[in-house]
Amino acid sequence: MSANPFLYQDRTLFCENVALADIASRAGTPTYVYSASAILANYRAYDDGFGALPHTVCYAVKANSNLSILRLLAQAGAGFDIVSGGELFRVLQAGGDPAKIVFSGVGKTAGEIDDALKAGILAFNCESEPELALIDALAHRRGLKARIALRVNPDVEAHTHHYISTGKLAHKFGIDIAEALAVYQRARQFSSLLLEGVSCHIGSQLMDSGPVMEAVDRVLELIVTLREKGFDIQHADLGGGLGVAYKPEDATPSIAAFIARLKDRVQNQNLRVLVEPGRSIVGGAGVLLTKTLYRKTSGEKEFVIVDAAMNDLIRPALYQAYHDILPLRQSSAPMIQADVVGPVCETGDFLAKDRTMQEAFPGDLLAISTAGAYGFVQASNYNTRPRPAEVLVQGSEWKVVRDRESYHDLIRGEA
Ligand SMILES: *Cc1c(COP(=O)(O)O)cnc(C)c1O
């Protein structure tokens, strides 16, 4: 299976062996379409990359939490990185193994922690001392021991968008690595905690593995120190963050090469290694299908108005993200330069700015590329727009794995 499952055959864009136009005509637009084979290939690149080294690949659920995708990964043997009680619920519904779940996040509530204790998760990635105290108290009440990794902040610059960079001291995440030893020492007082791990995650959409390796080296140094002080450290959770190429001229970083570099550093340390990849597993495995509604010109500017909007895919508006836009049918229409915009009443509602693209006429279908990660999960009902359908393709088969919302779904629970 090619790394990119979205390829043209006879000028028609396919996902694996299914023409995207067939999906659009039966499921409607806007619709997210994901390739199961690409998701599995990316997961296996991580899993196989570690080889015999003890490891768990904990897919970061927040990147795309559709139940069918979680089930696919659970069946392939994946663990999961969750950041909320809702994500825990999803993973358990999808048949995920609780013993392979790690729970990250700076603001876990007592209810969420208790649910995770009850489920018997692999570890809590703890981000503050008050959180340690709360987990200890709740574990004590249940007569359990909670496995803990402190999330340390290694103070490295991730060189990514400032909203998704997390590894500097000015960010809200983790505990300053310089303070970590003292925090582990103080945490010895908590008799219901097993201080078994160290975790870190420095940011997302990293196109270069250098900063991660720098962070890994600091984490390994800390582990040596902790073991010298008598802590029985069993695992290192090195987070996620590997990027994907959004522009056709960029190359997607190789998962295999990344893991090979990581493995070089962590082998022979008598450690289980965890990673928490999200974007690099699902990002390139999804597109958002949309239909052209109107064309218009305003002064010098050309607009292609489509039926997908910032409520369906917020990345361009939120992160100034670039998403390649492909016609479902390549034609001999001339190239134009246009803004691709949606129907939402915000000037920030754009999918592309000044984009050189094949001229699109009303009715023409487009695929917004590399939309499998942080796409549907950040969709909202702004402007009372139903969230899109989601479709999963495998080989020549496809099915709707989330129905398009109805207007009744939108008012459910309102008085
Ligand atoms: C978001 C997040 C991830 C996943 O990041 P990707 O860039 O999608 O790989 C992993 N771990 C933590 C703690 C996160 O917050």
What residue's CA is closest to ligand 1, atom 10?
240
Residue 86 sits in the same domain as residue 150? yes
- Residue 157: per-residue pLDDT: 78
pTM for the model stands at 0.97
Domain range for 205: 36-280
**Is it the case that residue 156 has pLDDT exceeding 50?**
yes
pLDDT tens for residues 15-58?
A: 999 999 999 999 999 999 999 999 999 999 999 999 999 999 99
Domain boundary among 280, 303, 326: 280
Confidence at 1, pLDDT banded by 50, 70, 90? very low
Domain assignment present for residue 1? The answer is no
Q: What's the confidence (pLDDT) of residue 179? A: 95
Under the banding of pLDDT at 50, 70 and 90, the label for residue 347 is: confident
Mean pLDDT of 324-332: 97
* Stretch 398-408: mean pLDDT: 98
Number of domains in the chain: 2
| 147 & 271 share domain | yes
Last residue within a domain, chosen from 263, 280, 297: 280
CA–centroid distance, residue 260 to ligand 1 (Å) = 20
User: Distance, CA 239 to ligand 1 centroid (Å)?
Assistant: 6
Rounded Cα distance between 110 and 131, Å, is 9
Asked if residue 389 and residue 262 are part of one domain, the reply reads no
CATH number where 199 lies:
3.20.20.10
Read off the CATH number of the domain in which 404 is found.
2.40.37.10
- Three-state DSSP at 294 gives strand
The bridge status of strand 286-298 relative to strand 301-306 is antiparallel
- Are both 27 and 41 inside the same structural domain? no
Q: Is ligand 1 within 6 A of the CB of residue 276? A: yes
Identity of the residue numbered 413: G
Beta-sheet pairing, 18-19 with 272-275 = unpaired
- Give pLDDT tens digits for 177-187: 999 999 999 99
What is the 166 CA–ligand 1 centroid distance (Å)?
Answer: 10
Q: How far apart are CA 46 and CA 41, in angstroms?
A: 9
CB distance 62 to ligand 1 below 6 Å: yes
Ligand 1 within 6 A of 204 CB? yes
For the chain, percent of residues with pLDDT exceeding 90? 93
Kindly state whether residues 245 and 360 are assigned to the same domain.
no
Q: Which of 280, 304, 336 marks a domain boundary?
A: 280
Would you call 345 a catalytic residue per the annotation? Answer: yes
Residue 260 has pLDDT above 50, yes or no: yes
The reported pLDDT for the residue numbered 171 is: 74
87 in ligand 1 pocket by Cβ < 6 Å? Answer: no
Asked whether residue 273 is assigned to any structural domain, the reply reads: yes
Residue reference for tokens 């754009």: 350
Clarify whether residues 255 and 126 are in a common domain.
yes
Report pLDDT for 167: 67
Euclidean distance between CA atoms 167 and 267, whole angstroms:
24
**Amino acid 164: pLDDT:** 64
